[in-house]
């Protein structure tokens, strides 16, 4: 087996769900497991989230919802974006909850429900998304009442919620979140004034769930937080989350390199003194950004931070051990803890001017996942 692996602690995911769920109670809890569970594995992450008390699961794609169904997960699974016309029948067949935000989306979903023989006794569950200012997807505010009415008028469809998404909840002090929530409340009030029942409303992602209690409403949708990653540096430590993923490998080769010799592509890394260089068999094809070494990133060997020497290559990195001993087979921790030292996804994200979400989602499928099971 290749000496590279991502270790996923499912107990940490269950813990994080339980912790966040307690924070937002009595709101229902939706665990977002899209993008293969943010790189952690969708099916194991979903099961761990349910063990931690999640009420609902959410995905971005119909295919992601079908994967959960094929794994035997029967919990409500919400598809967060409106399905394309060629996916709708599959969505209905898998008994997934649909999101809509256009008249054509409602029409196509109603036709799919009819083809599937759905009835008022067994309707397709529908969630209406409205755009309150992020301008990604969602109905315009002045379209919301008509769309809600169109859903309510279809006997084989059932409106289960109206929801929106916060654009700047990860920026404490940014007043646009309050603007969005005020707009959203007005939209919901207009729908209810039209005589249409709204069983549930939701707006909060992990950041809003933590920093904006007024956004918790009837349900929260937590993604990055359930994997133990703070949604933004400004919110770090606000909730005791436990990182679920570590990225590990073993040294595959060791050599001595003379002072001044260039290392890796471009030969830009040149040690000032004779040094020991360890080769570690994973690279940018595995999800390590190529610039990590140039930006001063470190890995852990022997419980100490060691610099990545030169450019990350497609399949390997080089690590500068200085005068310390190292052997083929020694463990290298790229993300995670070794002894008292740790490297977090956020430690890569900051210098790269990105977010920790991108780091964990970018760990390639060719990196094997090893799972530590939830212990009850």
Residue 373's pLDDT band (cuts 50, 70, 90): confident
Per-residue pLDDT, 142: 97
How far is Cα 301 from Cα 304, in angstroms, rounded to an integer?
6
Q: Is the pLDDT of residue 312 over 80?
A: yes
Residue 311's pLDDT band (cuts 50, 70, 90): very high
How far is Cα 100 from Cα 104, in angstroms, rounded to an integer?
9
Mean pLDDT, rounded, for 54-82: 98
Q: Is the pLDDT of residue 374 over 80?
A: no
> Does residue 227 carry a catalytic annotation?
no
Mean pLDDT, rounded, for 224-233: 97
Domains and CATH numbers, the chain: 10-227 (3.20.20.10), 245-343 (2.40.37.10)
Q: Is the pLDDT of residue 376 over 90?
A: no
17-48 residues labelled b (16+ CB within 10 A) or e (exposed): bbbbbebbeebbbbbbbbbbbbbbbbbbbbbb
Mean pLDDT, rounded, for 37-66: 98
What percentage of the chain exceeds 90 in pLDDT?
98
CA 249 to chain centre: 23
Q: Is the pLDDT of residue 101 over 80?
A: yes
Mean pLDDT, rounded, for 122-138: 97
CA 338 to each of CA 120, 301, 330, 347, 362: distance values in angstroms, whole numbers, following the listed order: 56, 8, 12, 15, 22
Mean pLDDT, rounded, for 342-356: 96
Mean pLDDT, rounded, for 114-126: 97
Mean pLDDT of the chain, nearest integer: 97
Token pair belonging to 280: 């570690």
How far is Cα 59 from Cα 118, in angstroms, rounded to an integer?
23
9 — phi, psi (to 5°)?
-90, 100
Exactly one of 34, 101, 129, 227 is catalytic; which is it? Answer: 34
Exactly one of 38, 227, 265, 357 is catalytic; which is it? Answer: 265
> Does residue 129 carry a catalytic annotation?
no
Q: Is the pLDDT of residue 208 over 60?
A: yes
The pLDDT tens digits of the residues spanning 146-201 come to 999 999 999 999 999 999 999 999 999 999 999 999 999 999 999 999 999 999 99
Per-residue pLDDT, 375: 66
Q: Is the pLDDT of residue 335 over 80?
A: yes
Residue 147 three-state SS: helix
Per-residue pLDDT, 352: 96
């Amino acid at each position: 087996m290749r000496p590279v692996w991502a270790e996923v602690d499912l107990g940490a995911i269950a813990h994080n769900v339980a912790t966040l769920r307690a924070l937002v109670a009595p709101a229902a809890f939706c665990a977002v497991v899209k993008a293969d569970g943010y790189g952690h594995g969708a099916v194991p992450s979903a099961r761990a989230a349910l063990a931690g008390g999640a009420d609902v699961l959410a995905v971005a794609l119909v295919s992601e919802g079908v994967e959960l169904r094929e794994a035997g997960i029967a919990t409500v699974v919400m598809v967060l974006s409106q399905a394309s016309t060629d996916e709708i029948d599959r969505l209905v067949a898998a008994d997934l909850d649909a999101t809509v935000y256009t008249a054509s989306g409602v029409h196509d979903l109603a036709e799919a429900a009819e083809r599937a023989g759905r009835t008022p006794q067994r309707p397709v569950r529908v969630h209406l998304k409205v755009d309150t200012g992020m301008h990604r997807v969602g109905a315009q505010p002045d379209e919301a009442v008509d769309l809600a009415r169109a859903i309510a008028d279809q006997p084989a469809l059932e409106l289960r919620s109206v929801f929106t998404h916060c654009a700047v909840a990860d920026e404490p002090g940014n007043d646009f979140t309050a603007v969005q929530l005020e707009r959203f409340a007005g939209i919901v009030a207009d729908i209810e004034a039209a005589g249409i029942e709204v069983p549930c409303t939701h707006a909060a992602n992990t950041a809003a769930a933590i920093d904006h209690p007024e956004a918790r409403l009837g349900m929260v949708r937590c993604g990055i937080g359930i994997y133990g990653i703070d949604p933004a540096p400004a919110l770090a430590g606000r909730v005791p989350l436990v990182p679920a993923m570590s990225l590990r490998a073993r040294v595959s080769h060791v050599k001595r390199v003379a002072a001044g010799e260039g290392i890796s592509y471009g030969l830009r890394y040149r040690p000032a003194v004779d040094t020991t260089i360890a080769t570690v068999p994973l690279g940018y094809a595995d999800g390590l950004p190529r610039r990590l070494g140039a930006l001063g990133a470190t890995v852990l060997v022997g419980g100490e931070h060691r610099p990545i020497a030169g450019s990350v290559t497609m399949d390997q990195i080089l690590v500068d051990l200085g005068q310390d001993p190292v052997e083929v087979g020694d463990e290298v921790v790229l993300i995670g803890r070794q002894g008292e030292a740790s490297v977090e996804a956020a430690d890569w994200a900051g210098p790269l001017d990105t977010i920790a979400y991108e780091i964990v989602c970018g760990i390639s499928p060719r990196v094997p996942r090893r799972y530590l099971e939830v212990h009850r």
